[in-house]
A and B are shown apart, each in its own frame.
Chain A
Amino acid sequence: MGQTLAEQILSRAAGRPVSAGENIVARVDLAMMHDSISPSIIKILHQELGAEQVWDRDRVAVVVDHVAPAATIQNAEHQLALRRWVRQQQITHFFDVGRGISHPVLVEEGLARPGMLILGSDSHSTAYGAVGAFGAGMGSTDMALALATGQTWLRVPETVRILARGRFRPGVGAKDLGLRVARLIGADGATYQSVEWHGVEELSVGERMTLATLSIEIGGKAGIIPPTGPGWEEHAARRGIIAPSWLCVEEGARYSRTVEVDLDTLEPQISVPHFVDNVRDLSELGRVEVDVVYIGTCTNGHANDMAAAARILKGRKVARGVRLLVVPASSEALQQATADGTLATLLEAGAAIGTPGCGACIGRHMGVLAPGEVCLFTGNRNFRGRMGSPEAQIYLASPEVAAATAVLGYIAHPAEVMR
């Protein structure tokens, strides 16, 4: 009998063949924590678990990304305490203010690799599935336990298979696929399951991260894209990464469900307030005027996302009365955008650029929304109050739709601008 990718990874992590439904104790390859949750994790680690040292200082990554640079004294204090802790524990992999969002950073640094079990103190840790890892978000106590012991316990999840067929039409991409799946199966459609994305071999690792991060928005425990295809090979060659031969899509693997999406007919998808799975085709939306367009986050703040937006914004200006905020997912994405002219295009169009990191995604700084404001957001969550005022409206869409919307002032198809 074949295994799903999740079963393969967790079998290796457990040191024995395991299958869906089993409870296992597994070895953790990498544990990530960020500035937002670290104070409680550190407290539990030392005070409640009594551990003096992390289990392996080379397998812990610490990232300052959630409110960076610090917006309040409290943030500054937490970040200072975190830096001291990193020095005291001699943590090898520490990424301070401005390096970017934990998930792309760990991928860029080659720390996240295919076949790994990676735990993160962040719900979008499913992101590591973009490079064929089993990435899962966990709470402070589980994270502290993993830091202390290098182990965690898990129930091996069942797997939902997403099967994309055909090719994306112009102006349609990974974000639309992800939102389409949320629409098809709902926010709890894959609760505690692994989401395997098939038929997306062409997608770059940046685009794969869009799908992997959105996997949590349908309840996924992990979201894994098989590390094959041209998009993967480009990343693997550049970073010198070889996917383990035991990690491959196997005949006879058991899926709880297969969800098919026809890319040939897929049009831009818009998630309307206030739930991620409240998704409509752009053509069904009607006219929605916006105050803010925000391009960023671990879902769609990558170099490819900014470049996609820049192709539409090139030679055009942001509509009067609309502000366009662009927050690169990482310093590497910013550097690439600097080198290839994307950043110049965005600035010329009228964008305000923010420090690489989580930005306003969680409503804690760098673009908090006022009551009544409407925001077109390339992020992953549009819950009431997510980006500030509970009376603000957040629509989720792709960077291409974001760029077209910034130019026209209302939520628009990229073709409306490009024609």
Chain B
Amino acid sequence: MGQTIAEKVVSHHAGRQVMANEIAIVAIDGAMATDATAPLAIKAFREMGGVRLWDPSRVVLVIDHAAPAPNEQVSNLHALMRAFGREMGCVLYDVGEGICHQLMVEYDHVRPGQIILGADSHTPTYGALGAFAMGVGSTDLAAAWLTGKTWLKTPASIKIVLDGTLRTGVSAKDLVLFLVRQIGADGARYQAVEFTGSAIRSLSLASRMTLANMTAEMGALTAFVDLQGLDLPYRFDPIHPDPDAVYSVVYSFNVDHLLPQVAIPHAPSNVVPIDEVAGTPIQMAFIGSCTNSRLEDLRAAAAVLQGRKLAPGVRLIIAPASRQVFMMALQDGTIATLTESGATFITAGCGPCVGTHQGIPGNGENVITSTNRNFRGRMGNPHASIYLASPAVVAASALRGVITDPADVL
């Protein structure tokens, strides 16, 4: 019987033929933890009697969730991670390097066909590179640090076939918001989502990361974006599903007429086409997160804001995905364009996405953001309302002070 991509990758790492719903023990290729999860993993690791990592070169710690430290409690956790990193000799990216998922890809810690564990729910992002990447809790991660292995139930797979061409001003974020609406917040629970179709081929790696990233909002365990059309600086053999692989569902969409999409409060699956919310006033705008803060995202915002000023009373906060993204945006003039429009930069990292610092909204404020979650209180204040959208929509909305289709300002 034919296999899905997930079944193939799990089989390869289990050393035997494995099909959906079978439990397997697999060797892993890498493990990532952030300042939100590493401290607990370190504690669990010690409790398991851990003294050394199975392979320090494959263990990555990233200080990104509340960086630089907003309070002494967090600064203590950062200090704990640095001490652990030194002691174990593993890889550590400190304050200002950027968001964990971005760094894993930028610094080549992930390759097609690998299994990567991340103690962060948006770990499926690496599906953009055809890796089986899944979020785990701190205890599972600690066990993997110790053994280089983990257990999992091989997921069933959903296939999403996307054909057509996205219109100008419509991006991977709009596409994935649309898909989260179609599939629902639990529609892909514990499944692998395979993206394929002609619409994928023209997408950049960054856009593919956006797509894979938000499968977490469908409940997915992991995601695979078809590697066709992707240029990588090394040779790789793309893993293709067998023609007779079994899927729990197959969706087909044509994206030709897709409009910008907005997730309205308080769920990422609560998505509407932009014309249904256009005109809603906003006070804060944020471009950042592992979903949308790469160079193409900053450029999309700059294209909207070029030579213009933010609406009075609106603050636009931008957190580049990484130092490298920041430097590239600096070199091509994107930073200058955004700064001149009135945007404010914060340190590369997660910024206010998780509500720990650097831009907590006030009571009753509306926030439009390029991030991935708009649950009540997500950005630190349960009395604020969060709207999710693409960087172009965020920029256009910051320009007008109300939720705006970029097509109306470009």
Contact B347 A347 (CB under 8 A): no
Contact A79 B330 (CB under 8 A): no
Q: What is the distance, in angstroms, from B246's C-beta to the closest C-beta of chain A?
A: 48
Complex Cα distance A80/B364, Å? Answer: 10
Given contacts A352-B96, A360-B68, A365-B71, contact A373 B79 (CB under 8 A): yes
Contact A369 B95 (CB under 8 A): no
Q: Which of A298-342 contact B (CB under 8 A)?
A: 321, 323, 325, 331, 334-335, 338-339
What are the residues of chain B within 8 A of A344 when measuring CB–CB?
327, 330-331
- A348: interface (CB < 8 Å): yes
- A371: interface (CB < 8 Å): yes
Q: Which of A355-369 contact B (CB under 8 A)?
A: 355-356, 360, 364-369
Contact A367 B330 (CB under 8 A): no
- A370: interface (CB < 8 Å): yes
- B22: interface (CB < 8 Å): no
Contact B75 A71 (CB under 8 A): no
Complex Cα distance A150/B100, Å? Answer: 52
Among B67, B326, B343, B360, the residue within 8 A (CB) of A353 is: B326
Closest A residue to B381 using CB positions: A73
Among A325, A343, A347, the residue within 8 A (CB) of B95 is: A325
Q: What is the distance, in angstroms, from A100's C-beta to the closest C-beta of chain B?
A: 10
Complex Cα distance A70/B79, Å? Answer: 24
Contact A321 B86 (CB under 8 A): yes
What are the residues of chain B within 8 A of A364 when measuring CB–CB?
70
Among A75, A338, A360, A370, the residue within 8 A (CB) of B79 is: A370
Complex Cα distance A75/B71, Å? Answer: 14
What are the residues of chain B within 8 A of A75 when measuring CB–CB?
360
Number of interface residues of A (CB under 8 A): 47
Q: What is the distance, in angstroms, from B373's C-beta to the closest C-beta of chain A?
A: 18
- B105: interface (CB < 8 Å): no
Q: What is the distance, in angstroms, from A269's C-beta to the closest C-beta of chain B?
A: 26
Which of B128-136, B186-194, B266-274, B332-340 interfaces with chain A? Answer: B332-340
- B315: interface (CB < 8 Å): yes
Complex Cα distance A75/B380, Å? Answer: 11
- B233: interface (CB < 8 Å): no
Complex Cα distance A345/B349, Å? Answer: 20
Closest A residue to B364 using CB positions: A80
What are the residues of chain A within 8 A of B346 when measuring CB–CB?
69, 354-355
Which has the most chain B C-beta neighbours within 10 Å: A323, A325, A373?
A323
Among A338, A370, A371, the residue within 8 A (CB) of B335 is: A338
Contact B96 A351 (CB under 8 A): yes
Which has the most chain B C-beta neighbours within 10 Å: A83, A338, A339, A369?
A338
A136-174 contact mask (Cβ, 8 Å, vs B): 1 or 0? 000000000000000000000000000000000000000
Contact B330 A338 (CB under 8 A): yes
Contact B75 A325 (CB under 8 A): no
Which has the most chain A C-beta neighbours within 10 Å: B70, B75, B78, B364?
B75
Closest A residue to B63 using CB positions: A323
Contact B96 A323 (CB under 8 A): yes
Q: Which of B331-379 contact A (CB under 8 A)?
A: 331, 335-336, 339-340, 343-348, 352, 357-365
- B21: interface (CB < 8 Å): no
Complex Cα distance A79/B315, Å? Answer: 12
- A98: interface (CB < 8 Å): yes
Contact B317 A354 (CB under 8 A): no
Q: Which of A35-86 contact B (CB under 8 A)?
A: 69-73, 75-77, 79-80, 83
Q: Which of B155-182 contact A (CB under 8 A)?
A: none
- B72: interface (CB < 8 Å): yes
Which has the most chain B C-beta neighbours within 10 Å: A72, A335, A339?
A72
- A289: interface (CB < 8 Å): no
Q: What is the distance, in angstroms, from A103's C-beta to the closest C-beta of chain B?
A: 18
Contact B348 A388 (CB under 8 A): no
What are the residues of chain B within 8 A of A77 when measuring CB–CB?
362-363
Contact A335 B381 (CB under 8 A): no
Contact B357 A365 (CB under 8 A): yes
- A31: interface (CB < 8 Å): no
Complex Cα distance A171/B86, Å? Answer: 33
Q: Which of B256-272 contact A (CB under 8 A)?
A: none
Contact B344 A69 (CB under 8 A): yes
Complex Cα distance A367/B68, Å? Answer: 4
Which has the most chain A C-beta neighbours within 10 Å: B68, B76, B331?
B68
- A412: interface (CB < 8 Å): no
Q: What is the distance, in angstroms, from A99's C-beta to the closest C-beta of chain B?
A: 8
- A108: interface (CB < 8 Å): no
Among A96, A321, A325, A338, the residue within 8 A (CB) of B96 is: A325
Contact A325 B339 (CB under 8 A): no
Complex Cα distance A356/B345, Å? Answer: 8
Contact B315 A98 (CB under 8 A): yes
Q: What is the distance, in angstroms, from B341's C-beta to the closest C-beta of chain A?
A: 11
Contact A368 B359 (CB under 8 A): no
Closest B residue to A357 using CB positions: B344
Among A69, A321, A350, A353, the residue within 8 A (CB) of B358 is: A69
Contact B68 A331 (CB under 8 A): no
Which has the most chain A C-beta neighbours within 10 Å: B86, B96, B315, B348?
B96
Q: What is the distance, in angstroms, from B125's C-beta to the closest C-beta of chain A?
A: 22
- A389: interface (CB < 8 Å): yes
Q: What is the distance, in angstroms, from A216's C-beta to the closest C-beta of chain B?
A: 26
What are the residues of chain B within 8 A of A334 when measuring CB–CB?
339, 345
What are the residues of chain A within 8 A of B82 when measuring CB–CB?
321
What are the residues of chain A within 8 A of B317 when measuring CB–CB?
69, 97-98, 355
Closest A residue to B331 using CB positions: A344
Which has the most chain A C-beta neighbours within 10 Å: B97, B327, B344?
B344
B67-107 contact mask (Cβ, 8 Å, vs A): 1 or 0? 11111101110110010001000000011110000000000
What are the residues of chain B within 8 A of A339 when measuring CB–CB?
336
Given A338-B335, A351-B96, 9 more contacts at CB 8 Å? A80-B363, A98-B317, A355-B345, A367-B68, A368-B75, A369-B72, A373-B75, A373-B79, A388-B71
- Spell out B's residues near A (CB within 8 Å): 67-72, 74-76, 78-79, 82, 86, 94-97, 313, 315, 317, 323, 326-327, 330-331, 335-336, 339-340, 343-348, 352, 357-365, 380-381
> Which 10 pairs between the two chains have the least Cβ-Cβ distance?
A352-B96, A98-B344, A80-B362, A69-B359, A367-B68, A370-B75, A370-B79, A76-B362, A365-B70, A71-B357
Task: List 6 interface pairs A-B (beta carbons < 8 Å), by A numbering.
Answer: A69-B317, A73-B381, A98-B344, A338-B336, A344-B327, A360-B68
